[in-house]
Structure 1
């Protein structure tokens, strides 16, 4: 009986600890990640991004080269500071054949459009699931999905350009610039079905993770591209890009899930409302002090 009592006490402690963890912030994040099948969703996003990204970059590279501007390969080489054989492998991946004079065929354009649309819809569905929103109507979902993807690419380019221009000293400007952009972006992906009070914590979290991931990309991705290009040649560059996109996809899935749970946690405790109210009182107060 004593052994049975000890087993029962340990079982009760285990159940209590399990229930506490499930109610905790990390437990809710893990449960939400499991409910939306976060691992497979990240892999799907990475695959769809690769299918849409490589043809899109090749097409854009062809259009830019006709105008005498920098090709997409040159942009990647400059962004990751690639040199030597690694830079040559990237140029070979995006280079057009010497005798290629034809433009993009109608079938190729339709496939490219379908790939981009599929990726934008998957990205939108990720935020809808993470934020527990029902699927938007088809037409509205298509418009907001494409709009959200275009806005996201513009955000990445703008923030990356500011970081490249200002260097480490521009981190504060990147933070101030990224937070409102992510508020708008998440709201677009959700079809406007979220308030500022809920979006702000998620936007701050996503901004911080985005900047850390960008810093990591500048340090590790060039090394990864160099290794894969040395081992496998031009196709190794594609392998490295896929690995990079998988990491980016996991970042998107993770920030979507944790951002929502963080927003709920702060809203339930009234923290976001207090911060916004404090900021609202501080600005007029500062203005009153500056008035003659």
Structure 2
């Protein structure tokens, strides 16, 4: 080769594969492609593609979506039961349930009261919900190539903290954005609140689950990407989700609602994990941007 492909960090296998492909190309294509791929955009594209394949992002996103559904939704029902004696209207409002589908939620929680849960039931719901935290821990440890923190009673609070933060984000996320819309300029503040909330959550969750093993500043690029993509996902879901819920409720009842929410959670989980992968690629890059994110001196030019 006329030029050498350079790759920093542990992702040398991807660089070797690219080199093998480039060697088979004629010189007139090999030289410009080598120059393009050796720059920041090319390096990011190659390393991100390798990371997506290595981590099986689509499968992990489905696992996290299912864990989120089985972890956070019971907590929402529990909170509504304790707060309003089984009134399901609050749950429907939080989930953005259209009017035609609210009857399904009413049937699902009909007759629930605080006695149905009790202290033992509440503890069981909270302990079961930590499966989401453990799934996220495995995902972020694989993304950042760090060992998973040791599990024990002293570290269990991290699992509960993540579940609580994610639940609060579901409960108060939309309401805070709506309340911010009364402040001028009305078009800017809801966006700012949504972006800030997404960045805080997407930074806090991996930081606390990895016991601070990855600095918050390195997590910021992935969190920022997640917040930006969600600016497009939320309006799209506001259009699609109510219609899909009505159709699913009419045809399949509560099981239809479950599958529809799982599909929506899968999209959000995929964005969450994919943004974290891209953020790791950006933060660990050998160029000036990666050095700035890590807080180290940039490489000599």
TM range (shorter): 0.7 to 0.9
The C-alpha deviation readout for 1:50-90, integer Å capped at 9, x for no partner, is 22234333322321222x8xx4543433652612x222223
Say whether residues 1:242 and 2:256 are aligned partners.
Answer: no
Aligned match of 2:277: 257
**How many angstroms apart in 2 are the aligned matches of 1:50 and 1:274?**
33
Higher relative contact order structure (alpha carbons within 8 Å, sequence separation ≥ 6):
1
**How many angstroms apart in 2 are the aligned matches of 1:47 and 1:10?**
44
For residues 79 and 276 of structure 1, do their structure 2 counterparts lie closer, same or farther at Cα, with a shift above 3 Å needed?
farther
- For the aligned residue pairs, the C-alpha RMSD in angstroms reads 3.7
**How many angstroms apart in 1 are the aligned matches of 2:30 and 2:250?**
52
- 3-state SS of paired residue (1:40): helix
Aligned match of 2:98: 82
For residues 173 and 51 of structure 1, do their structure 2 counterparts lie closer, same or farther at Cα, with a shift above 3 Å needed?
closer
CA contact (8 A) 1:123 1:145 kept: no
CA contact (8 A) 1:77 1:87 kept: no
Where do 1:117-196 residues align within 5 Å? 117-139=130-152, 141-167=155-181, 168-170=187-189, 171-196=191-216
Q: TM-score, normalised by structure 1?
A: 0.74
Structure 1: gaps spanning 5 or more residues: 1-7, 278-292
Shift of 1:275: 12
Where do 1:27-42 residues align within 5 Å? 27-42=46-61
Q: TM-score, normalised by structure 2?
A: 0.72
CA contact (8 A) 2:61 2:266 kept: yes
**How many angstroms apart in 2 are the aligned matches of 1:137 and 1:101?**
35
Of 25-34 and 10-19, the range deviating more from structure 2:
10-19
Shift of 1:9: 9.8
Size of the alignment, in residue pairs? 263
Shift of 1:25: 1.6
CA contact (8 A) 1:124 1:145 kept: no
CA contact (8 A) 2:245 2:257 kept: yes
Q: Which has the higher helix share?
A: 1
For residues 109 and 163 of structure 1, do their structure 2 counterparts lie closer, same or farther at Cα, with a shift above 3 Å needed?
closer
Shift of 1:135: 0.8
- 3-state SS of paired residue (2:214): coil
Say whether residues 1:219 and 2:239 are aligned partners.
Answer: yes
Aligned match of 1:50: 69
CA contact (8 A) 2:44 2:281 kept: yes
**How many angstroms apart in 2 are the aligned matches of 1:233 and 1:141?**
40
Aligned match of 1:282: none
**How many angstroms apart in 2 are the aligned matches of 1:247 and 1:26?**
22
Shift of 1:118: 1.2
CA contact (8 A) 2:222 2:280 kept: yes
Where do 1:10-21 residues align within 5 Å? 11-12=24-25, 20=37
Say whether residues 1:92 and 2:107 are aligned partners.
Answer: yes
Aligned match of 1:202: 222
